[in-house]
Structure 1
């Protein structure tokens, strides 16, 4: 309010000088008015000032101990993208490394499982092919034995029946193997998905430890409870996550 009154007073003095120059031709001092920053200075004896619009920066919700390692200077203006607040990353970087190793391990187990399954299925399919061929040979032998003795014909038919049963058993074993493999593969894939989620969460926790300004503004520190009393936050503090 004082600054506004001062401008008006200066403007009124300039108009009065023109009248005096015309009527009395007297010299009156005048000053040029320039556009500039409008500054208001207040002196507070008690109390605190609060911004009408403010954005509160809080500790990230993470699992682990938080320790402040960087704070943007209080009372200074931040621009978009400036690093306002940062926490110690050592514990969280280690956690990311552990999660990466866990994911790598379960992925390796999945690949090993798939490879073993492929080998076993191939072996059983080859066995079925062999038994199919044996059955066909046994059936041909039965046809060849039609003019042989009854005993020889029965032996040939019995051999063909045994080969047929062996083929059916091999096929059932292969079908069961597919079911077992699918369940085992599903379990391994779920393990991989779980480890991927844990790694993603660990990476997000690590990323949240660095807080950058999303809009310009004046930095004002909040008070937190330390040792039973409220004090302004500072580097080295360990706030709750």
Structure 2
């Protein structure tokens, strides 16, 4: 009996093995791919934008280089020495040393101008002294000539009337010459004073110029204005000001001393999502360096103009998120992951984006009807990165195809009634009616113009 039982088991085992071999040989070569279904889900639907950012202090004290160097035609100054980033300094501690070579040339030129002005002043003084000395000598001679004429008049009383008349004329001439000489002397004195005053003014200006350059040169050694941690300044292209780089005369900031009590996460949002971002929206903030920390924030600033970031072909807009929590472990330049909450809809019916198919600018889902699919037209609502709300066309119990066969010409298309489509079109028109009073959607927390734009973008993305 045991022999027959063992033989019977061996026969069953062989038969099962032959069936598996036959199936793998002939049945496994089927060209039909497995059909994947999905079902709609109902619940809270969240629209979010996820970005990466960088922590920066909301408020900081700038460590600035010398001001006014443009007056000396200096527009960029290289940094010769700079203390390491992250160094904790106290007020008055050394921070940086700037290259003085260009301003030293300006100082040498100013000193040469000063020496020339001093020489001109000395020369003018000598000339004035010499000229006035000659004028004074002439006055003395005129006084002697007048005295001689007076003596000649006294001695002419015994002479003929003609001689007496002549000496009196000489006396009058001598008086007029002396009077004119005294006037000329006063004029020469005034002229000398004006000349010296002009040269002295130029000399004073050159002296002040040298003093100003020397004062500016002193500020080429930069010290900390307050206590804090030194953080290098970032340029517009994202690079940092470091030792060997140059600072601009228009913005001579070398580094900053951030205030860690209030931090911002500065992020950049692409031009597709920026229209849904506005001030006051909340965000969840995570730290790559400390995944266990969960922070929250509020958007405080949204840029109106896009910019081209390095290594990026698309335009992005800067968004500033203020961190609600104050944490002593937060440091500038930490990488953050930001989830911005755009909108939330309760009790929404939604499906994966892969279930939506666009045919002739109409949106369909492939719904299972018995053993065959049918194309059911649907009305779409809000969309996020994975799912989209279905306003009309399906219910929670439907089974949907995630993929379609290459040829859909034979599949039945079920269109929504016109009155249903018109209803949703009227709702959209009502939302964007410029004459209507503003409506605030408390539940969705999205302004009407933004909702209309978002619907258009959703349709555009689905068509693509």
Shorter-chain TM-score bucket reads: 0.7 to 0.9
Larger radius of gyration: 2
Query: Residue 169 of structure 1: CA displacement?
Result: 2.0
String of CA shifts for 1:210-233, please: whole Å, max 9, x gaps: 1112443221112113xxx11111
Which of 137, 140, 152 is the equivalent residue of 2:151?
A: 140
Answering whether residue 166 of structure 2 is matched by residue 155 of structure 1, we say yes
Which of 229, 232, 236 is the equivalent residue of 2:240?
A: 232
Distance 1:116 1:46, change over 3 A: closer
Report the secondary structure of 1:230's partner residue: coil
Which of 18, 36, 50 is the equivalent residue of 2:57?
A: 50
Distance 2:125 2:203 in 1: 13
Higher strand share: 2
Which of 209, 221, 229 is the equivalent residue of 1:198?
A: 209
Counterpart for residue 218 of structure 2 = 207
Distance 1:140 1:70 in 2: 87
Counterpart for residue 100 of structure 2 = 89
Higher helix share: 1
Distance 1:214 1:48 in 2: 23
Distance 1:236 1:160, change over 3 A: same
- CA-atom RMSD in angstroms: 1.9
Distance 1:214 1:150, change over 3 A: same
Query: Residue 80 of structure 1: CA displacement?
Result: 4.1
**Runs of 4+ in structure 1 over 6 Å off:** none
Within a 5 Å distance, the mapping from 1:1-241 to structure 2 comes to 47-48=54-55, 50=57, 54-61=60-67, 62-63=69-70, 64=74, 65-225=76-236, 229-241=237-249
Higher relative contact order (CA 8 A, sep 6+): 1
Report the secondary structure of 2:57's partner residue: coil
Distance 1:237 1:48 in 2: 24
Structure 1 unaligned regions, length at least 5: 1-44
Query: Residue 58 of structure 1: CA displacement?
Result: 2.5
Distance 2:151 2:186 in 1: 28
- Does the 8 Å CA contact 1:114/1:185 hold for their aligned counterparts? yes
Structure 2 unaligned regions, length at least 5: 1-51, 250-464
Report the secondary structure of 1:232's partner residue: coil
TM-score (structure 2 length as normaliser): 0.39
Instruction: Indicate the larger mover: 184-193 or 201-210.
Output: 201-210
Query: Residue 128 of structure 1: CA displacement?
Result: 0.4
Distance 2:205 2:134 in 1: 32
TM-score (structure 1 length as normaliser): 0.74
- Does the 8 Å CA contact 2:156/2:167 hold for their aligned counterparts? yes
- Does the 8 Å CA contact 2:117/2:203 hold for their aligned counterparts? yes
Report the secondary structure of 1:74's partner residue: coil
